[in-house]
Structure 1
Amino acid sequence: MTDVTARHGSRRREQTRARLLDAAHEVFGDVGMDAASVEMICERAGFTRGAFYSNFESKDELFLALITQLAEEKLDAVAGRVRELAPDALSDMSALVHQVVGASLGDRVEPQLISEIRTQAMRDPRLAEAYLTWQNVLRDRVEGIIQQVVSTYGLRLRLPIDDAAQLLLDVSDDTCARATLEGRPTEEITTLLNARIERLVMVLVEAPA
């Protein structure tokens, strides 16, 4: 197999995987995770079951890959805003916090999806291991973002950075899970989540001398 053929095959596999993820996201939005079937996802993507199982071992693995992708997109956006912070952003701590964390969950992020994956993980040890690994990766990304803000502005936190990152994730998970149980729409969950994260960050950061 030539390098050109290998690259073409790799791109085609990436495209197939991306279409399956997009289709899963659409199907989830229509019927929810439990009702979503491999057949429905394949039909929406225009692929056979063979194409599905050449990319994912199961529906659960597909949905875990989906929330990984969505979370990475969100964190990439946050990291981008951190890199673009103005030098005088620290003059208004509230505005700084809002600029860093105050972004919409977006059209592609449903708290219900993450909650359903977590529920499935509680019943499936293999999925639980994968879910915890994903959570650890998220925490590392959040730690890096916090570290960059702290270093750039010489901030002091009331907790070690790793504890602060875990607390932010725990509050986010709890807020989304409870709001989902209460039947709140995504837009309302976004507003509630941002408000709680902003308040928490204000508590975590020591006031400048």
Structure 2
Amino acid sequence: MSDVTTHAGSRRREQTRARLLAAAHEVFAEVGMDAASVEMICERAGFTRGAFYSNFASKNELFLALITQLAEAKLDEVAVRVRGLPADAVSDTRSLVRQVVGASLGERMEPQLISEIRTQALRDAMLAEAYLAWQGAMRSRVEGIIAHVVDAYGLRLRLPIDEAAQLLVDVSDDTCTRATIEGRGAAEIAEQMNSRLERLVGVLVENPPAGG
């Protein structure tokens, strides 16, 4: 098999996965994770069940891949924003959080999806292991972002960076879960998360910028 043929096959597989993920995202938004069947997702994407199972072992694996895609996209956005801040852009801790995090959930980061997958993980050992691995990967990304901010602005934290990152992730998770249970919308959840993160960062930072 030639390199061209192999490359074409890999590209088709990537396109198939992308369409399945996009379809799952749409179906989830309409009916929720429990009601979203493999058949509904395949029909929306225009593929057979065979195409689905050649890319994902189960519906749970598909949804875990979806939240990975959404979370990675959001963390990429945050990382770009962090590196684009000028040295004199931050006057206080609140400004720092607002500029770095922004609308942290965004239009494509549904807290309901993360909450539902977490609930499924409590009942499924294999999904639990995969979910914990996903959280570990996200925490590592957050650690890198924190390290960059600490170095760029000469900050000192009251906790090691890995513990601070875990605390930020835990607070984000708790905010998403509680706000979802309360039936709040994405914009309101984002505002609540920003508010909680502002207060938490104010506690974590030993030497906040002047005015913080």
TM-score w.r.t. the length of structure 1 is 0.97
Deviations 1:17-62 (A, max 9, x none): 0000000000000000000000000000000000000000000000
Deviations 1:125-176 (A, max 9, x none): 0000000000000010000000001011110001110000000000000010
CA contact (8 A) 1:102 1:198 kept: no
Amino acid at match of 2:60: D
Aligned equivalent of 1:43? 43
The alignment partner of 2:207 has SS state of: coil
The alignment partner of 2:122 has SS state of: helix
Counterpart Cα distance in 1 of 2:13 and 2:166: 34
CA contact (8 A) 2:33 2:116 kept: yes
Aligned equivalent of 1:160? 160
Counterpart Cα distance in 1 of 2:175 and 2:52: 33
Alpha-carbon deviation of 1:104? Answer: 4.2
Alignment of 1:2-17 (within 5 A): 2-17=2-17
CA contact (8 A) 2:146 2:165 kept: yes
Amino acid at match of 1:53: Y
Amino acid at match of 1:70: L
CA contact (8 A) 2:97 2:194 kept: no
Aligned equivalent of 1:54? 54
Unaligned regions of 5+ residues in structure 2, if any? none
Counterpart Cα distance in 2 of 1:120 and 1:92: 40
Amino acid at match of 1:31: V
- Count how many residue pairs are aligned between Structure 1 and Structure 2: 209
Aligned equivalent of 2:130? 130
Amino acid at match of 1:51: A
Amino acid at match of 1:62: L
Alignment of 1:1-209 (within 5 A): 1-208=1-208
**Higher relative contact order structure (alpha carbons within 8 Å, sequence separation ≥ 6):** 2
Alpha-carbon deviation of 1:198? Answer: 1.6
Alpha-carbon deviation of 1:91? Answer: 3.0
Counterpart Cα distance in 1 of 2:50 and 2:115: 28
Alpha-carbon deviation of 1:90? Answer: 3.5
Unaligned regions of 5+ residues in structure 1, if any? none
Counterpart Cα distance in 2 of 1:195 and 1:74: 18
Deviations 1:160-208 (A, max 9, x none): 1000000000000001001111111111111111111121112111135
Counterpart Cα distance in 1 of 2:194 and 2:67: 19
